[in-house]
Amino acid sequence: MLALIADPALGADRTAQNVEAEAGQPGPRVPGATPAGDQRPMKACPDCAELVLAAARICRYCGYQFRPAPTPPPTVAGNSLLGFLRRPAPRLTLTETLAQLGVELDPDEQPAGFWLGRTQGGDGYVVLTNARLFFVPGLRWSPGNPAPRQHRLDELAGAEIASRHWKSELVIRWHDSPDLCIDGLAPKDRRGLHAALVAQLERDRLR
């Protein structure tokens, strides 16, 4: 005859009948474990890589604090309009810039250079195209500015760099007009404009 002896370590009621009733039942809950049927969304802790509930604000494993992402300020019509007005203006092409300065180019005319210079004591812009040379008085266009002075390159008679009062200037000579003396040019710009005019004279000579 088989005798059933209760195991004192398992409790006084740990009989064969009770053991048989416990078969197939889930074991004791492990502290911190997620139940198998829990379908709530999870997220990984960026500090310890453990999975915690997506709604958690503190990781239960390492104490990492999840900070909510900053929410953008609400967009209202006034803010949208203000942002639109603060956008930088689109950059103009050289042809569009010249048009704002009062220099109208012919359909087949192409700008070749644009420099800041001075003539007869007045500051302005020197504009060279493939057909003409302009001097635009004033550094900013306004309705009261005088019209740009212009010369056709087929009227060019000569160009040289001269020194006057310890300053270098570009002297441009025309066949039927007074000389045009331009100072205030940067040395590199002065040499570049002079070289372009000399090249134009050479082309005219070879025609």
Residues 157, 139: contact at Cβ < 8 Å? no
Q: Does some domain include residue 2?
A: no
Q: Does some domain include residue 176?
A: yes
Structure tokens at 177: 């007009």
Q: Does some domain include residue 152?
A: yes
Per-residue model confidence as pLDDT tens for the chain (207 residues): 444 444 444 444 444 444 444 444 544 444 445 555 567 888 888 888 888 888 888 888 888 888 887 776 665 555 555 565 666 767 778 888 888 888 889 999 999 888 999 988 889 999 999 999 999 998 777 777 888 999 999 999 999 999 877 888 999 999 999 999 999 889 999 999 999 999 999 988 887
Residues 50, 62: contact at Cβ < 8 Å? yes
Query: Domain tally for the chain?
Result: 1
The long-range contacts involving 44-48, CB below 8 angstroms and separated by at least 24 positions, are none
Quote the radius of gyration of the chain (alpha carbons, Å): 44
CATH of the domain at 182: 2.30.29.30
Q: Does some domain include residue 79?
A: no
Task: State whether the Cα torsion 148-149-153-154 is positive or negative.
Answer: positive
- Its pTM stands at 0.55
Q: Which domain holds residue 172?
A: 107-206
